[in-house]
Chains A and B, each alone.
Chain A
Amino acid sequence: MQVHKYDVVIVGAGGAGMRAAIESGQRAHTAVLTKLYPTRSHTGAAQGGMCAALANVEEDNWEWHTFDTVKGGDYLVDQDAAEVMAKEAIDAVIDLEKMGLPFNRTPEGRIDQRRFGGHTRDHGKAPVRRSCYAADRTGHMILQTLYQNCVKHNVEFYNEYYVLDLLTVDEEATREDGTVYLQKKIAGVVSYDLATGELHIFQAKSVILATGGAGKVFKTTSNAHTLTGDGMGIAFRKGIPLEDMEFFQFHPTGLAGLGILLSEAARGEGAILRNSEGERFMERYAPTIKDLAPRDIVARSMANEVREGRGCGPNKDYVLLDLTHLEPAHIDAKLPDITEFARTYLGVEPYTEPVPVFPTAHYAMGGVPTNITTEVLQDNDTIIPGLYAAGEVACVSVHGSNRLGTNSLLDINVFGKRAGVAAAEYAKGADWVELPQNPEADTRALLDHIRTSDGGEKVAAIRKELQDTMDANMQVFRTADSLNQVLGDIAGFEERYSRITVQDKGKRFNLDLLEAVELGFLLELAKVMTVAALHRQESRGGHYREDFPDRDDENFMKHSMAYLDSGVTADSSKEHIAGIRLETKPVVVTRYQPMVRKY
């Protein structure tokens, strides 16, 4: 067993992890552990841009950006966090430019900006040009630029090291009011080296989780195969809560049948949605900003058109993204990649033909709860010293119940940077936490079980059935019945999962084993999402309950906090479903009282 010692260990090398590494690497002895080579991370698939109120092309300010973020999130956003993000957005973009990011430019040579859904001038009056971009490959440029700067600063990477456990210790502590509680402390992580199959212990004073999302719980998704919620899963198993997991964003324009993302930038540049009757149907759902309404509203409107029989194609199961009124030269300059996706994967020429699209599972608004310094919370108020999270794995919460387009690239830069600084500063003054006895025991047991189990159940079959039921029952429209269906299905999958068999018995690059471990996280997270969705008897942002179609601020304007509660049986009271205990956490409201959300 190899034991490594670093001041700071960063788990994940996407945008948030590498932004953190650039800060931490210059301040403390830092290692980045990543399941994938850094440049394979899904930040690179982001397309449309990163919003910041630079006001390079028209009047704008960060307060409007804050308001849009809060309203876009249907008032479940923690407003102090949204304010931090909108304010620091401006420096975050300038930082990237100085690191070399090749933004598109205005005729004056400034960073160009364009429109994006839900981003408006003066509190909703009209769309505003706020998104800084590099054609429709902004995420690619961010990922490459951050990796380039990691190379520049000699950041130490452990590539294809899959972190499978957080090493935490619980110590008795006393609160100011005299109550005794168990304080969690972080000692390091356990990781599995994919190339050799060996386990490695990394002892660290600070650990930053930056593992991204969990889109693979759904079938139709824009997410990479590797986005299996590992970071959320390992935290949850250690008793750390997950916040607002019922809120999952469905991006309106996935290529029909495939889920591949077509950026909202298409609509930002003037494309519109049409149904089978040729109608620009968003005029009915969001009369002011129409096709540039936030994603939850557009996705629901599309699904509703299909449900009411106005879908296109042989099965009437998608709508059309129409770019045909745009100049081909303009499309080539601003949207080269997504038009190529339409040609490559659907054989459609976007210059002359509208592109079949349907909502695709895109982004987890929820995740590991943190404060605005990115410190992870073990309950509503208590931080875990030395443990940080940033990016999609985390819930700060800046996205509330629906994230605005471009705010994820912003989130990873603003909070990734904060995490890197905070983790390194903490490590300077902190003592090592002693590793637990046999730190790798749980991980070894997990892997041994999977390797030797011979019940004959197949990982791929269970995963497919999970994804099918999630698409059918946990997508843009939900009811108590559909959610109970999912929970019943998951109970069956969990039983079968205990009897899986992997065919690959080797140590080198055993990706069969890897997929089996990932499925364990997917099952757990799908259950948390569904239990939280069942419990939230209202409709807000990305969570729409047909049996509770209105927002209910009185009872539900609060975050949900899901805890692993293995001591509770499946049939106990409503707050304890399927081994999960649900609590709530207040929303931080500063400037903006909730209003009816219209666009």
Chain B
Amino acid sequence: MSAVEAELPEPASKIELPVHLGGGGEIPTFDVTLRVRRYDPEFSEESKWEDFTMTMYGTDRVLDALHKVKWEQDGSLSFRRSCAHGVCGSDAMRINGRNRLACKTLLKDLDTSKPITVEPIKGLPVEKDLIVDMEPFFQSFREVMPFLVNRDHAPTKERLQSAEERARFDDTTKCILCAACTSSCPVFWTDGQYFGPAAIVNAHRFIFDSRDDAGDMRLEILNDKEGVWRCRTTFNCTEACPRGIQVTQAIAEVKQAILARQI
């Protein structure tokens, strides 16, 4: 990853394009049924399944189907969303029993011959329909000191960091705090006190940053009985991460760092 690369040769002014290019033809449509877990304590303490059937396109995502329900069938269906392309982390939900972002899950990639189940993520209190209370999740995040601590005298320019040092923690900088990992973790489901994978990922991001001086303090925090040692290495978190972060590996690296420090 050198900064001043050799200049690229100028691309050709004109090329022969393959005939098929861009020619996807008609976008296929299909019928799909969403089976959504509904809950609104203002009206009933019971939660229930509700089915909605609609016609969707091959490029549509689960979020598009939820919007179609909300905008055309039942305006009271409630869920969070914002960017709609997998970077803001608002719409993590349990789709066919797996945690995913609704805006990154294409309907055509699911089995549409059966109803698609959509539920709130597990382990956090449900507020209404697919909306959960995120406060406990962010509380754990805040507890791991998720910010750079540097005790040196600040230079007038940037601190130097080699490309290799930067690469060391690249994977865990991708976290969007969607809670898909933490709320897929069986330990977190049974023990709400467990920090959970996302908080550990964010601690990892700083522990392995060459500019940071508070790694020991974070390792101390995560050496707690509700810390990394609760992890059972089930890999649910890694499978759930919509950003492709190797979550379980990050947790393992934090465990190793704690052990190495004790020696």
Contacts and interface: CB of A to CB of B under 8 A. Distances in A.
Contact of A226 (B23, B40, B82): B82
Interface stretch (A472-480, A506-514, A555-563, A581-589): A506-514
A482 B147 CA distance: 51
Nearest to B1: A333
Contacts of B41: 508
Interface string A245-260: 0000000000001101
A461 B70 CA distance: 12
Contacts, number: 210
Given A40-B82, A97-B158, A144-B173, A280 B12 contact: yes
Contacts of A295: none
Given A102-B173, A322-B11, A502-B75, A148 B146 contact: yes
Residue from the set B15, B59, B79, B81 with the largest chain A CB neighbour count within 10 Å: B15
Contacts of A326: 8
Contact of A509 (B75, B128, B159, B166): B128
Interface string B86-129: 11111000000000000010100000000000000000000111
B190 interface: no
Contacts of B4: 57-58, 106
A277 interface: yes
A26 B51 CA distance: 50
Interface in B1-29: 1-4, 8, 11-17, 21-26
Contact of A57 (B3, B70, B85, B175): B3
B246 interface: no
B42 A507 contact: yes
A41 B88 contact: yes
Contacts of A283: 13
B22 A318 contact: yes
Interface stretch (A109-117, A361-369, A438-446, A568-576): A109-117
B83 A509 contact: no
A313 B22 CA distance: 4
B211 interface: yes
Given A107-B3, A341-B85, A344-B104, A98 B154 contact: yes
A506 B76 CA distance: 8
Contacts of B188: none
Interface in B134-165: 134, 138, 141-142, 146-148, 150, 154, 156-163, 165
A224 B82 contact: yes
A103 B3 CA distance: 12
B255 interface: no
Interface stretch (A235-243, A268-276, A391-399): A268-276
A144 B156 CA distance: 23
Nearest to A283: B13
B161 A109 contact: yes
Contacts of B131: 509
A105 B209 contact: no
A320 interface: yes
B28 to A, nearest CB: 12
B142 A112 contact: no
Nearest to B160: A109
B59 A257 contact: yes
Nearest to A279: B14
Given A39-B89, A280-B11, A508-B127, A111 B158 contact: yes
Contacts of A598: none
Nearest to B2: A107
A102 B87 contact: no
Contact of B161 (A58, A105, A274, A312): A105
B72 A460 contact: yes
Contacts of B235: none
Interface in B156-190: 156-163, 165-166, 169-170, 173-177
B3 A36 contact: no
A182 interface: no
Contact of A100 (B148, B174, B175): B148
A509 B134 CA distance: 14
Nearest to B72: A460
Given A274-B17, A283-B13, A140 B147 contact: no
Contact of B17 (A276, A458, A508): A276
Contact of A105 (B127, B138, B147, B163): B163
Contacts of A97: 158-159
B33 interface: no
B142 A44 contact: no
B71 interface: yes
Contacts of A512: 70, 75-76
A195 B135 CA distance: 12
Contact of B84 (A105, A224, A322): A224
25 contacts: A36-B90, A42-B88, A44-B87, A100-B211, A102-B169, A102-B170, A104-B1, A105-B1, A107-B163, A109-B165, A137-B87, A141-B173, A148-B148, A272-B11, A279-B13, A312-B21, A313-B22, A313-B24, A320-B17, A344-B104, A353-B21, A458-B71, A460-B70, A504-B76, A512-B75
Given A112-B1, A325-B8, 8 more contacts: A36-B82, A39-B89, A57-B4, A93-B158, A225-B82, A278-B15, A314-B22, A504-B75
Q: Which 8 A-B pairs have the closest CB atoms?
A: A100-B148, A460-B71, A503-B75, A109-B160, A313-B22, A106-B3, A504-B76, A512-B75
